[in-house]
């Protein structure tokens, strides 16, 4: 069930974050304790001891923050290099997305392709295809059923045991049934929705102007040139088959938000970067403020 996979992914993420928090706490508390001990053991004038302690503490915090930033930038650059070696040979151009994500845009075999990788990690691959309808395909679960009920979406029952584990939510039942009963299309869909790990959650969506393959909680090591090429080829072939069917009778149009989300998300990147820089600036201001308070307290004799 999808819920058990989400719980595993959430539990794994919590465990990693908890371990990271413990490591950070050990470094911060240990560094603070060592600085304090060394400062008060130094053979210096008592009037200077507070200044030395405050300056050392400020320098320690600054070095810690700069170290985290440097480590983060190095990690992002390493990941970007690995991903570029996968996507740029396909003719896609890469650039930054959010703080540590990546996006790629270009044309593959005559169709526009847009790729986004962000926290999760979550990989989204859009392949342009003007099909004019909607279909959602993912592993069955309570969450999907609740969402479908809220949106008044009826699940499609193909009567095919191979699809029993998947929830299929179409706008046009006749058109979707014709697509999924095509032997080549059904083979591709089952392959694209086959998760590669215990926590990976895959979703295949047909949107009015694109096919979307989403790999939630995937592993970076699985984003290889061979896998990406296979996913691209399958999406391209599925788009070709879907485009050759009788046109759907129940149609949909791509919204402006949907179009922007698919083709260019950079307008969302800079505000987030601005907020992040603002947080770091606030931290620096707080450190300067703390140092200034120590100086004022010392001068006032408190």
Counted residue by residue, the chain has a size of 302
Give the pLDDT of residue 283. 65
Rounded to the nearest 5°, which phi and psi values hold at 34?
Answer: -65, -45
- Residue 16, pLDDT > 90, answer no
Tell me the two tokens of residue 6. Answer: 């989400």
CA distance 61 to 154: 56
Give the pLDDT of residue 63. 79
For the chain, give the mean pLDDT.
Answer: 81
Tens digit of each residue's pLDDT (9 = 90 or more) over 43-72: 777 667 677 777 777 777 787 778 777 877
Q: Considering the chain, what percentage of its residues have pLDDT values greater than 90?
A: 43
CA distance 108 to 135: 23
User: Distances from the Cα of 163 to the Cαs of 157, 186, 189, 192, 271, in angstroms?
Assistant: 9, 9, 10, 13, 42
What's the whole-number mean pLDDT along residues 260-277?
71
Domain boundaries, the chain: 2-78+271-300, 96-266
CA distance 118 to 6: 17
Tens digit of each residue's pLDDT (9 = 90 or more) over 69-96: 787 777 778 888 899 999 999 999 999 9
Give the pLDDT of residue 191. 96
CA distance 157 to 164: 8
Give the pLDDT of residue 136. 93
- Of 135, 267, 118, 152, the closest CA to residue 210 belongs to 135
- Residue 260, pLDDT > 70, answer yes
What's the whole-number mean pLDDT along residues 273-295?
62
Give the pLDDT of residue 295. 54
Look up the pTM and report it: 0.72
What's the whole-number mean pLDDT along residues 204-225?
94
Give the pLDDT of residue 11. 56
Which is more confident, 91 or 6? 91
Give the pLDDT of residue 204. 96
Q: How confident is the model at residue 137 (pLDDT cuts 50, 70, 90)?
A: very high
Which is more confident, 42 or 142? 42
Enumerate residues 6+ apart whose C-beta is below 8 A from 171.
Answer: 133, 134, 135, 248, 250, 251, 252
Report the greatest alpha carbon distance in the chain: 89
Q: How confident is the model at residue 294 (pLDDT cuts 50, 70, 90)?
A: low
Lowest mean pLDDT among 30-34, 114-118, 169-173: 30-34
**Dihedral over Cα of 131, 133, 134, 137: its sign:** negative
């Amino acid at each position: 069930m999808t819920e058990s996979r989400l719980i595993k992914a959430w539990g794994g993420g919590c465990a990693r974050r908890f371990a990271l928090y413990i490591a950070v706490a050990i470094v911060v508390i240990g560094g603070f304790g060592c600085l304090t001990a060394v400062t008060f053991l130094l053979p210096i004038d008592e009037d200077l001891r507070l200044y030395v302690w405050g300056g050392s503490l400020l320098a320690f915090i600054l070095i810690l923050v700069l170290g985290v930033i440097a480590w983060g930038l190095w990690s992002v650059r390493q990941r970007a290099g690995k991903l570029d070696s996968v996507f740029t040979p396909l003719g896609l151009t890469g650039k930054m997305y959010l703080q540590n994500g990546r996006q790629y845009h270009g044309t593959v075999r005559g169709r526009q392709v847009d790729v986004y990788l962000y926290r999760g990690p979550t990989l989204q691959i859009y392949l342009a295809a003007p099909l004019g309808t909607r279909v959602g395909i993912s592993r069955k679960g309570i969450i999907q059923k609740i969402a479908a009920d809220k949106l008044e979406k009826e699940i499609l029952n193909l009567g095919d045991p191979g699809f029993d584990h998947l929830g299929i939510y179409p706008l046009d039942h006749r058109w979707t049934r014709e697509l999924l009963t095509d032997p080549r299309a059904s083979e591709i869909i089952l392959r694209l929705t086959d998760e590669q790990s215990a926590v990976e959650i895959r979703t295949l969506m047909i949107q009015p102007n694109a096919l979307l393959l989403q790999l939630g909680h995937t592993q970076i090591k699985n984003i290889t040139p061979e896998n990406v090429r296979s996913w691209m080829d399958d999406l391209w072939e599925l788009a070709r088959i879907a485009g050759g069917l009788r046109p759907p009778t129940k149609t949909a149009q791509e919204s402006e938000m949907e179009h922007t989300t698919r083709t260019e998300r950079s307008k969302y990147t800079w505000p987030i970067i601005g907020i992040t820089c603002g947080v770091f600036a606030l931290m620096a201001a707080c450190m300067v403020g703390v140092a200034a308070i120590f100086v004022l307290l010392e001068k006032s004799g408190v």
